[in-house]
Amino acid sequence: MMARTVLNHSDISRALTRISHEILESNRGSADLVILGIPTRGTVLARRIAEIIQRIEPDAPVQLAGSLDVTMYRDDLSRTRTRTPSPTDVPVGIDGKTVVLVDDVLFSGRTIRAAFDALNDLGRARAVRLAVLVDRGHRDFPIRADFVGKNLPSATSERINVHLSEIDGAEFVSIEGGEE
């Protein structure tokens, strides 16, 4: 199956920088901001966004990038491949904070719906925002990303693959498939 690259390393870097600026603008700075990635690649992206925000506002409080595992909150566990839960690592309380959830690809919305349930077990955030590197459409739930790196309309038969250097040793986003 042929895969074509739709984002390269520079494209990903620019998208994350833009998303970081948009997060700061919508939040009016970095006060009371908690950035949580959804494993696995969302956690890497969340860490990068937090680092970019820290560079943009060096005198601001350190941005917290944690990890929110949603595996046991999913409603489709019996229908998907086996997932190994990752540890949830939320370094601060979320009560009264603006939480930015970060994921690599927004597709059906099921992962984000599960993330909302997981967040409820941690406390009551003032607001929850969603940042994704790729929004490919095809929602099963009425969920919309607040910050999007790239809108990539795709067929349901296609697969979007995000490769990040920290995990995969290479940095690009590809799309493959499409034969119906």
pLDDT tens digits, one per residue of 143-178:
999 999 999 999 999 999 999 999 999 999 999 987
For the chain, what is the mean pLDDT? 92
180 inside domain: no
Sign of the torsion formed by the C-alpha atoms of 67, 32, 139 and 135: negative
DSSP state of 79: G
Q: Is residue 122's pLDDT more than 90?
A: yes
pLDDT tens digits, one per residue of 25-73:
999 999 999 999 999 999 999 999 999 999 999 988 777 889 999 988 8
Residue 49's CATH number? 3.40.50.2020
Query: Alpha helix locations (H) across the chain?
Result: 9-27, 41-56, 110-122, 165-168
What integer pLDDT is reported at residue 74 of this predicted model? Answer: 83
Average of pLDDT values for 14-32? 96
Average of pLDDT values for 101-105? 98
For the packed helices 9-27 and 41-56, what is the interaxial angle rounded to 10 degrees?
Answer: 60
124 inside domain: yes
Q: What percent of the chain has pLDDT over 90?
A: 81
Q: 144 and 113 in contact (C-beta within 8 Å)?
A: no
161 inside domain: no
165 inside domain: no
121 inside domain: yes
Structure token digits, residue 56: 């943009």
The structural domain count of the chain equals 1
41 inside domain: yes
172 inside domain: no
Q: What percent of the chain has pLDDT over 70?
A: 93
167 inside domain: no
What integer pLDDT is reported at residue 96 of this predicted model? Answer: 95
- Select the more confidently predicted residue: 83 or 19: 19
Q: Which domain holds residue 64?
A: 11-23+30-75+88-156
